[in-house]
Chains A and B, each alone.
Chain A
Amino acid sequence: MESIIAYGIAILAAPLFPGFILKVKAFIAGKKGPPLLIKYYTLAKLLRKGSVYSTSTSCLFKMGPTVSLAAAVMALLFVPLAGVAPVFSFHGDVIAVFYVMGLGRFFTILAALDTASPFEGMGAAREAFFSMLAEASLFMVMMLFYRLNGALSFSGYFSGENPITMTGPNGSLLLLVIVSLFMILLTENSRVPVDDPMTHLELTMIHEVMILDHSGPDLALIEIGAFCKLLFYSIFITHLLIPAKSLDGFLYGMVFVAVVGAIYVAIGIIESIMARLKMNLVPKYILTSFALASFAAILTTMGLV
């Protein structure tokens, strides 16, 4: 029961955090910025509207938003939230969750190609390419975690005899992993330096250009999915940063939420101080995260750690 409530809160709060990013960016740019609840207002606005569908599209175009939303919502079911056990968990759920997110991407790409727009095709090709590389990094991280505590599930990683945290015996290794995961977070959620959600030029977009033709409630569903996905990755990293069960119930929850918020702030800072990479450098960027993770994983096989 506790898990379901925590899950519900997480879904409801998912649109809140991106507000932090906007605030931080505005602050650094010396502006006042939109209100913290801006994403809720946007969603409410979108949900009130109708939609225009391109005559080129078919039924798959309408499946894009629902499947990508379902995938992101599904992923959150399997992560422990602020010390509360996840709603579902089994040995191997990590693989399943990342594959489900792959399915969400599959349908987003199909919806983009369904519009017959060259721009959306371009975005789709980039998304497919970059996330393929990011997936390899994620599996490298999984293998490292498996070697560290033999678990293959989110709840197994962060509970049990030797949970994986920065403060544990393998903290130094995890530093590499955290950097690597943060880079994957930026990639998978289309943030700077891989993609710029604020850009206005379709040629340079990745995620935004794929959903150009979605409007109204369809767009709202996609946005909710994107918020959940970002929250999912942030929670994953947060668990690595703070030790589980170091504090009791409520206080732990507060610290947890604060760290999640801090990750969003970090994203905001990065977006303010960095420009996006040239498109041909992005694969190298993602491979850097892969290299970090595999370096850490190989260290464990040498028996050094």
Chain B
Amino acid sequence: METFFVALGLLLVGGIFPLLTSRFFRFMKTGYICATIAGCGFGLCAAAIPLRNPEILSVSWPWLHLFTLSFSLDSLSAIFLIPIFFICPLAALYSYHYMAKVQQSGRTAVSLFFFTVLIISMALVATAGNIITFALSWEIMSLSSFFLVMYEYQREATRQAGYLYFIFAQAGAMLIFAAFAVAYSHTGSFSFADFAGIPAQAKMIVFFLALIGFGSKAGIFPVHIWLPHAHPAAPSHISAVMSGVMIKMGIYGIIRMYSLLQVTDLVFGQSVLFFGMISGLLGIVYALSKRDLKKLLAYSSVENIGIILIGAGTGMIGVYSGNPVMAGFGFAGSLLHVLNHSLFKTLMFLGAGAVLQQTKSRHIDMMGGLIKRMPITGKSCVAGAVSISGLPPFNGFISEFMIYFAAFQGLGLPGPTSILMMLAIVSLALIGGLAVTCFTKVIGIAFLGEPRGEKAASASECGCTMTVPMVIMAASCLFIGIVPAPFINTVFLGLRDIHGIAAVSPDTIAGLAGNLALFSRLFLGIVVLSMILRRVCYINKEVAAGPTWGCGFTRPTVRMQYTGASYSMSVAEFFRPFVRMNSVYSGIKKIFPGTTTYETQVEDIAEISLSQGIVGPLLKVLGKLRWIQHGNIQLYFGYIILTIIVMLFFI
């Protein structure tokens, strides 16, 4: 535990450093990055301790004479600490060239400080040992990330996104605290350990309040609305960390609550699975139909949270039905997907940031041909896209395979549950297919073909501190895919401290890991062989270059290329009941038509229902009460006095 606090101390020192040295722009950033990398290194060492030995480290201090701050580091916390301490330093490194404006050095310093606060608070959330500590860390995490989102506060869109995020974060926190309060009213203690003793009815309330509360942080459909607004508004390395790491704290909360409450009823697994399927399918369908690259990635996070929840839900049903293999692989697959998603989603966001810096646009239909102009970014993003689509031999496949493995186990369960598992498998398959469509669109439209705009045509590779983190992440994605055994074993160690999961025999785990490793390596071998074969075929052959075959059309322009919207249109239409598409077409009216325009927009049904169903009526009602706010200070004093007098009656 000392190592853990040394790590946090180092991070804190690193975080305060930029505030003091903001005049020396480069010195500030270099010092900050070094301290962050050192701190996170210590943090990773601390996370390794509970994974190595089956012991739970804990420490507590009294605070304000009333409360105790207590921290405990078990193997489940450790699993969630790994992405925090591995991804954040890479994102910090990335910020060196990404935040390159000397004029904004003061603001950069503040942003770096809050970034550190975010890292520390996430680590504290993952290790919090009682209600008070958890609530404090959770609030610090939400607030620091709010300030990070508000980096470009002058822009109207950023402020709107920031406030939306703030509302969702606080509403979510409110539900979580309500859940804690319900538990507290039964136990009378702040300790998490007493949660198991509350009555079954209360457990139900606590779990579902917490599920929605944590879900709004994780981005479960339909409380995901802040994601597609906040991620595009934040600087790219911030959205990378928020999407790759921070939203996983919501998942941590759900799994932790499940473990603390020691609930094994079927309904918990079923509802988590249900939310997982909805988030997964709708997340990827919306991702597919978005043009804004970062919005697309934000929706893809909703999808991946869905996959993680499908895994967790399958695991919970496995626990209920007493099938250790199903329970183990479900939870392990979902935890491994947490790790994997933190790698490839961060990679994709960093790639999007590099593209944004070069092309000054997030609009996917303004890009094109970037892989030739930004080869390292482009190739890393291809690796990220293959991983995020869950295809072998990359890491996404390993975790999805484990979830499939668990879900197939569930097909043997009686009646309705097995039909639910069938639905889960079909949704996973559909999500996989849709993810392929979505990420071929990202790569194919943004990175391949011909540039669609001048900015894209004049793009060039960005600085080395931006490319190095992307290459490291792409390489890690491939590494986990080819050498899955240590990672699969690690996540199984993480299950040790979840209540109710019986150990899966090491032979089953080793067998599965071995098979997957063999499969990936074999496939990689065959790809290399066929590349060599291709080379051999081209020895002494004439190779020429020419224009693309235009099918008889001789004057093609770059504007004729397929756009992202046209690529995804038919799939989006297929899901029409859930996807509302608005098209505006000016039409051709005269014999010699002028400029015609055509625009399609896909709207999120959750967002529409929220704004039309809740926010609209609420505004109408509250608007009638607006006369209370008249700006007359004397009357405000009157309110205060009136309130105090009324309160006096109750004392």
Contacts and interface: CB of A to CB of B under 8 A. Distances in A.
Interface of A: 47, 49-60, 62, 65-67, 69-71, 73-74, 77, 88, 90-93, 95-96, 99-100, 102-103, 105-106, 109-110, 112-122, 124-126, 128-129, 131-133, 135-136, 138-140, 142-143, 146-147, 150, 152, 202, 212-213, 216-218, 220-221, 283, 294, 297-298, 301
B523 A212 contact: no
Given A99-B390, A106-B386, A143 B422 contact: yes
B181 interface: no
A270 B512 CA distance: 41
A136 B426 contact: yes
B527 A66 contact: yes
A99 B392 CA distance: 7
Instruction: Count chain B CB atoms within 10 A of each CB in A51, A77, A112, A125 and give the residue with the most.
Output: A125
Interface in B418-444: 418-419, 422, 425-426, 428-430, 432-434, 436-437, 439-440, 443-444
Contacts of A116: 368-369, 448-450, 548, 556, 558, 561
Contacts of B569: 125
B624 to A, nearest CB: 49
23 contacts: A51-B541, A52-B546, A54-B549, A58-B372, A60-B371, A70-B523, A71-B523, A90-B519, A92-B405, A102-B389, A103-B392, A118-B556, A121-B566, A121-B567, A136-B430, A140-B422, A152-B408, A212-B551, A216-B537, A221-B533, A297-B422, A301-B418, A301-B422
Given A96-B392, A110-B444, A116-B368, A65 B534 contact: yes
A57 B537 CA distance: 20
5 closest A-B pairs (Cβ-Cβ)? A121-B562, A132-B433, A113-B444, A50-B542, A217-B537
B69 to A, nearest CB: 45
B544 A53 contact: yes
A294 B419 CA distance: 10
Nearest to A48: B541
Contacts of B372: 58
Given A70-B527, A116-B449, A212-B551, A93 B570 contact: no
B502 interface: no
Given A132-B433, A132-B437, A118 B562 contact: yes
Contacts of B426: 136, 139-140, 294
Contacts of B450: 56, 116
Contact of A88 (B405, B411, B518): B518
Q: Is the interface of A mostly helix, strand, loop or mixed?
A: helix
B368 to A, nearest CB: 7
A92 B397 contact: no
B440 A109 contact: yes
Contacts of A220: 537
Given A99-B401, A135-B433, A139-B428, 20 more contacts: A60-B443, A70-B523, A70-B526, A92-B404, A96-B516, A96-B519, A113-B444, A113-B562, A116-B558, A117-B549, A117-B551, A118-B556, A121-B562, A122-B566, A125-B562, A125-B567, A140-B422, A143-B422, A213-B549, A216-B541
A305 to B, nearest CB: 14
Contact of B449 (A53, A105, A113, A283): A113
A118 B560 contact: yes
A103 B433 CA distance: 10
A69 B530 contact: yes
Contact of B547 (A54, A65, A103, A114): A54
A124 B543 CA distance: 25
Contacts of B369: 56, 58, 116
Interface string B454-479: 00000000000000000000000000
Contacts of B102: none
A295 to B, nearest CB: 12
A56 B440 contact: no
A103 B560 contact: no
Nearest to B448: A114
Contacts of A49: 541
